[in-house]
Amino acid sequence: MNATPDRPAQAEREETARLLPAPAERDLPPGRHLHHKELLMRQIDQDTTHTSHQPGGLRRRLVDAAAPGRPRRRLVLGASLAAGAMAAVIAVTAVGSHAPTTAPQAASAPGGSVSKRGPGSASPQAVQLLTRIAAVAAGTSAPQVRDDQYIYIASQVYGASKKIGADGDGAKAQYNDDGTGTTHPRQAWFSVNGSRNGLLTERPGEGGVNLGKNTEPSLQLPTYTYLASLPTDPDALLTAVYAQNIGVDKNLNPDQEAFQTIGDALRESLMPPQIGAALYKAAAKIPGVNVVDDAVDASGRHGVAVSQDHGNQRTEWIFDKDKLTYLGERTVLVNDDSAGGKAGRILVSTAVTERAVVDKAGQKPSPGTAT
Radius of gyration of the chain (CA): 19
Sort strands 313-319 and 326-333 into parallel, antiparallel or unpaired: antiparallel
At 64, the amino acid letter reads: D
Q: Which residues of the chain have pLDDT under 70?
A: 1-120, 164-171
pLDDT of residue 251: 84
C-alpha distances out from residue 326 to 137, 202, 265, 305, 322, Å:
9, 21, 12, 10, 11
Burial class (CB in 10 A: 0-12, 13-18, 19+), 231: middle
- Stated length of the chain: 371
Cβ atoms of residues 68 and 155 within 8 Å: yes
